[in-house]
Amino acid sequence: MSGQYGIQLDRALDSLLVGTRHRSDLGDLDLLAKSLSEHGLLQPPTITPEGFVLIGVRRVAAARRLGWRTINVWVRSGLSDRLGQLLSEHADHALHKPLTTLEAAALYRELKAVLEEEAALRQAATRFGAQPEISGISGGGDSPPPSEAREYGKAREQAARMVTGRDSHQMLERVNRIEDLAADSTVSAAVLGQAEAELVRIRDGAGVLASHQRMNAALSLDELDRIAADPTQPESVRESAGREAARARQADLKAAEMERLAQAALERVKGSSGSKRRPTPRTALTADDEMPKLRSSRAFWATWSELDGWWRHYDVEQMVRELSGEQLDLFVSIAEGTIRFATELQEARAAA
């Protein structure tokens, strides 16, 4: 293998180190140890040049259980110094300065790329006749046991947990997308300027959710501008796009409301009579491509019956002092979504 994976070699198991960012519960290693004993190591763990295990913690643990002295590894080169520091973090050697949001997003991007490459290697190995260690018997070599598969199964979730200690991938994906727009030479000056301004806000400690919403609004307005300037569109459509964009820009709204207003304006123009449908040049930012799974009415009631009168138990000034901007933004977004759902519920009930 070439590229950033560097070289493949045998390494003494005693020289390999595991930082605390990896999960501590490795699950049942018996099946994996049996697979290693019967079939050998089919996919070497990936380590940093310093010997910290990046991918393959369970394989290393199973090999140690079998009494192996050495193990074949891929030495991953090209990792940033900051990522190396994060991976080498031990309980008695915590990082002195917490990661900023932009630092966490950069490390998340780097880690996710490595984990996605590992997943691709597993898939390729499976397609070409992999043995049990890579396929089902051990959950994909270094995949978590079945009870944890949903929690750790995806590269982005695992990367987020390794960087922040929690599944913060939605927030980190939003930051990465804004960074991508700020570095994209093909976007309009308006989108570029908005992306750069949002990164400054995030760097200064503002919440990511509001930046995400403002960025979505900017993308919708940018597409309205494109339609208004497109000579192939009917004149009525161009004029409508120009009016909608101007009206939205004049509105003095919060980020979430502005996002909805701009998106609604774009949808009206696209749906107008005679409009020529064109691909969206810059799609709205999304942090998760999956559709949410619908829950039962029983789960709905179990959730909301526990929240009756919850606001009487919290002090507003204390929340402002102690919660981060990101946490407050998330709460406001949840509250706004709750109000919208409640309105729709009342309307549906009245119509029933």
- Here the tokens at position 130 are 């992999």
CA angle, 278 then 193 then 280, to 5°: 10
pLDDT in tens, 213-244: 999 999 999 999 999 999 999 999 999 999 99
Averaged pLDDT for residues 324-335: 81
> Which range scores top for mean pLDDT: 39-43, 78-82, 170-174, 271-275?
170-174
Task: Report DSSP letters for 118-134, one per residue.
Answer: HHHHHHHHHHTT--TTT
Residue 278's nearest CA partner among 226, 217, 222, 219 is 226
Averaged pLDDT for residues 260-267: 91
Tokens 């009579």 sit on residue: 273
- Here the tokens at position 244 are 């909608």
Tokens 């180190």 sit on residue: 17
70: which strand partners?
12
Residue bearing the bigger pLDDT, 134 or 97: 97
Residue type at 298 in one-letter notation: R
Annotate 164-223 with three-state secondary structure: HCCCCHHHHHHHHHHHHHHCCCCCCHHHHHHHHHHHHHHHCCCCHHHHHHHHHHHHHHHH
Tokens 């605390």 sit on residue: 20
130: which strand partners?
none
User: CA–CA separation, 17 vs 220, rounded Å?
Assistant: 48
Q: What is the mean pLDDT of the chain?
A: 77
Averaged pLDDT for residues 272-294: 51
- Residue 232 phi, psi dihedral angles, 5° rounding: -80, -10
Residue 134's nearest CA partner among 30, 56, 64, 203 is 56
Residue 34's nearest CA partner among 147, 148, 132 is 132
Total residue count of the chain as it appears in this document: 352
How crowded is residue 25: how many other Cβ atoms within 10 Å of its Cβ? 8
- Residue 44 phi, psi dihedral angles, 5° rounding: -65, 145
pLDDT in tens, 189-213: 999 999 999 999 999 999 999 999 9
Residue bearing the bigger pLDDT, 122 or 326: 326
Residue bearing the bigger pLDDT, 128 or 245: 245
pLDDT at 181 over 90: yes
Q: What is the pTM of this model?
A: 0.58
- Cβ atoms 284, 263 nearer than 8 A: yes
pLDDT in tens, 145-168: 333 333 334 788 888 887 887 888
List all residues 6 or more positions away from 301 whose beta carbon is below 8 Å from its beta carbon. Answer: none
User: In the prediction, which pLDDT does 56 show?
Assistant: 82
Helix axes 235-250, 208-228, angle to 10 degrees: 150
